[in-house]
Structure 1
């Protein structure tokens, strides 16, 4: 069982054990991959060991490149589920109903993963369970998202039974050239270039009892997890980064709304942040910038769509903000990151710098 709280910017290696199985199936030596990434193979002998979240992203990116398998993250995620989440997964398995199980995962996943954050929302009878990276500058985010949403799908299938199928699966990256493996695994409608990676399903499933749940064991697990939570160092900056990643997407990121979430006055929240050398508006800008870069790099969302996602009034306001953050415009930044993959209608695949600068918003 997990002995300590995972530090900021890291995660348990439990869900990554499937990497080795996939590599062997694709006839690639895991030792060579680990050497390329700078990881010791022995780290994976114990699922409770942790590695930097960014290293995990680089690992999956290298695996996809070396195996020539664009859906490597999906294959890895298919081999993980509740058991890969250790104590947190065990608590979900023994929660009284599916809604409680998923909320326990959302509330406590930071004890397992400190580079991304889950979110469960229910509106008009529809449940949306998503996963969002907040750690800045992570490579291989598309592979991470594919693996994470496959694990999430396995988790809900285990809790609900074989009859459960998502209505939709959302991906915050471009549509792959071949989606047969995605269709085969998820068995539902796939939507790419979305603002979040998530599973969409009827909220009635949340009321379904979890088969085999032990209420006594659930109580014991809750006590153990509470003890781990108490080890938290009161890092309000890290906490706000995790919270803001989801609140920005749902347009609930005002200082008043966030302070209300923690049942405190906004001045109290500001004082706690100032004590750690941060400001609320600075953190909002930092998280917005990270979301913007992820959407620009990994999706084909328009500037208008990204501006709306980040709660800007129009694309021009978003462009001005992005220029302040990066020194360039979002259109130019996207063209530099994906010069051959992001081509505006009517533009040559070998677009010149002048053509790029002539695009709207540059």
Structure 2
């Protein structure tokens, strides 16, 4: 399977594209992406498609610094749920370590590693795009720019790295690059990354609130996703995210994973599953949760579960649970009354 990234990777893309005179809808469509998906930051989309989109956008807008412009729009919250935990770590070393260990929770393309030597710390950044890797200049500059902004959040808004290296060549105008990275910017170097004083790792995390750390850690332990998340898990998550959009199909899931539908079918079959079985199981789990809540109307639940009408939902519910949703709700209510076992 091709690596995925959260839709938060494109946070601000639509607004930036319009500001530089290009059509975000048309460009995303060419890469099999949809601007509607960006409304929810925790959806997963094809990483290589995002890389191609950024390159295409830079070319169409005639802005070699398109990726950096994206980095300037980054907020710490764009990292997703892990940001709630990282920001409460007591020092930069522990915060950065947590962020790098769990990078798969927000970007499967990204591979960053931290090393220390002779009083200097280095964050090397790679993008794992596979054998047929598209050009990734914009995505790399976005990633390094985002890490620089994260470090400034940990330390100080005026903080400067010792140097920032890029393996690719210099742009025609590096003004925005020097404004973001400072005077230590170099191109055509051996790796992509950030070099800074190792002492900075032991500095207190400027964002941290010690009283919140235990709560944040407990929350993180509950949501942490193993690095080896299976294809079945990915498909299940996408089904849940797509149900309410009315576009939950094998084609849409395959597009989000960056593969064709036959590949999805093949991977699911290896686990003894089908797309239809996962769709049905997910609907059943959510239906039990939603129908039990009397504050949710059945029409609303029907929409959230992706049914074309309330009658279609009711027929499906009776087939799965042996009674109508109204009857099931009443029975659940009776079981929750005082004195009922």
- TM-score w.r.t. length of structure 1: 0.60
Q: How do 1:149-298 residues align onto structure 2 when only pairs under 5 Å count? A: 149-229=144-224, 231-233=226-228
Residue 77 of structure 2 corresponds to residue 80 of structure 1: no
CA contact 1:116–1:135 (8 Å) conserved in 2: no
Residue 104 of structure 2 corresponds to residue 110 of structure 1: yes
SS at match of 2:55: helix
Distance 1:202 1:233 in 2: 33
SS at match of 2:102: helix
How far is 1:125 from its partner? 0.9
Deviations 1:93-114 (A, max 9, x none): 1110111111111111111111
Distance 2:96 2:193 in 1: 13
Distance 2:100 2:45 in 1: 21
For residue 62 of structure 2, what is the aligned residue in structure 1?
Answer: 68
How far is 1:227 from its partner? 3.7
How far is 1:226 from its partner? 3.2
Deviations 1:312-359 (A, max 9, x none): xxxxxxxxxxxxxxxxxxxxxxxxxxxxxxxxxxxxxxxxxxxxxxxx
How far is 1:212 from its partner? 4.1
How far is 1:140 from its partner? 3.3
Q: How do 1:24-63 residues align onto structure 2 when only pairs under 5 Å count? A: 24-63=18-57
Distance 1:87 1:34 in 2: 26
SS at match of 2:70: helix
How far is 1:228 from its partner? 4.0
Residue 74 of structure 2 corresponds to residue 119 of structure 1: no
- Structure 1 residues 8 and 139, CA, compared in 2 at 3 Å: closer, same or farther? closer
For residue 353 of structure 1, what is the aligned residue in structure 2?
Answer: none
Distance 2:147 2:69 in 1: 13
CA contact 1:88–1:109 (8 Å) conserved in 2: no
How far is 1:130 from its partner? 2.3
- Structure 1 residues 168 and 16, CA, compared in 2 at 3 Å: closer, same or farther? same
CA contact 1:130–1:198 (8 Å) conserved in 2: yes
Distance 2:63 2:158 in 1: 30
Distance 1:150 1:130 in 2: 13
- Structure 1 residues 112 and 160, CA, compared in 2 at 3 Å: closer, same or farther? same
CA contact 2:5–2:107 (8 Å) conserved in 1: yes
Give structure 1 stretches of 5+ with no counterpart.
Answer: 1-6, 236-362
Distance 2:222 2:181 in 1: 36
How far is 1:132 from its partner? 0.6
CA contact 2:167–2:189 (8 Å) conserved in 1: yes
- Structure 1 residues 194 and 226, CA, compared in 2 at 3 Å: closer, same or farther? farther
- Matched positions, count: 230
CA contact 1:168–1:189 (8 Å) conserved in 2: yes
SS at match of 2:85: helix
Q: How do 1:302-313 residues align onto structure 2 when only pairs under 5 Å count? A: none
Q: CA RMSD in A?
A: 2.1
SS at match of 1:117: strand
Worse overlay, 103-112 or 179-188? 179-188
How far is 1:191 from its partner? 1.3
Greater C-alpha radius of gyration: 2
CA contact 2:123–2:193 (8 Å) conserved in 1: yes
